[in-house]
Every structure is written in C-alpha cells, then in structure tokens.
Amino acid sequence: MTIEEVKDRLSQFGYEVVESDNLILNFIMSKVVAEIKRDCNILLIPSDIEPIVIDMICGEFLFEKKSLSPTNFFIDLSAAVKSITEGDTKVDFAIGSGDLTNEARLDKLIDCLRYGNKHIFNSVRCLSW
C-alpha cells in the first residue's frame, strides 16, 4: 500500500491532492495502519484488506480536511454515485437534490469510508495471550 494509491482513491472522490496535503496524508496513513495492527494484534497488513485500509485512510483524511477548514474544503457531489456497496455494507445517498444537502452526503461518504468495513478485520485478528 502506497501513498500514491491513497491519492488515486481520493481523486476518485473528486479531491485533488496538493503538495501541502502530503504531510497530513503520511501521518494519517501511519496512524490508521498502526491502529489496525494494534487492534488486530498483527505485524503486517494482509494484502487482501489493503483496499479497506486505503478507504479508511481516505475517510480520515477527508474528515480532517473538512473539520480543520470547512470553508475552504469542497468536493462536488452533485454528480456522485447514489449508493455505495462494499461487502455487506451499503450506503444510499439522496436521489433528488432536495433530499440531502451536499454536506450531509459528504458526511455519509466519510462515515462509510472510516467505519463501513471494520468488521472485516475480524478475519485477520489474532488472539493475544
């Protein structure tokens, strides 16, 4: 898993990473990986869950950006997908423009990225004695 994969995933959501984002991206990447390793009691992230880890990193990054600079942070969600299904987790966004604001849709997307597939870590969790 590389920072370039994280940047590519962020671009899929309409966010273009700028040079000043690299420091926070590296920090969040280290933080999320360390949390998963600690919670699952593992030394390496298995390759089959890397896409989920990348989504979690993106969710944390988008959450940070939105929290720290809400007036300067914008992702155009008007043309975004109406639902996301990953494994057995599904998030439906507003169908009409009046159903949910773009901010509410962004919040749902961020929550799905941050927490939507944590149950999959049960398959790689090791018991500690």
Residue-level pLDDT at 81: 52
- Give the per-residue pLDDT at 44: 92
| pLDDT tens-digit profile, the chain (129 residues) | 899 999 999 998 888 888 989 999 999 999 999 999 998 889 999 998 899 999 999 999 999 988 887 666 656 555 455 566 666 767 665 555 456 677 777 888 888 888 888 788 877 877 766
Q: pTM here?
A: 0.75
CA-CA distances (angstroms) from residue 54 to 50, 88, 90, 113, 127? 6, 18, 18, 9, 24
Element (H, E) at 85: strand 83-86
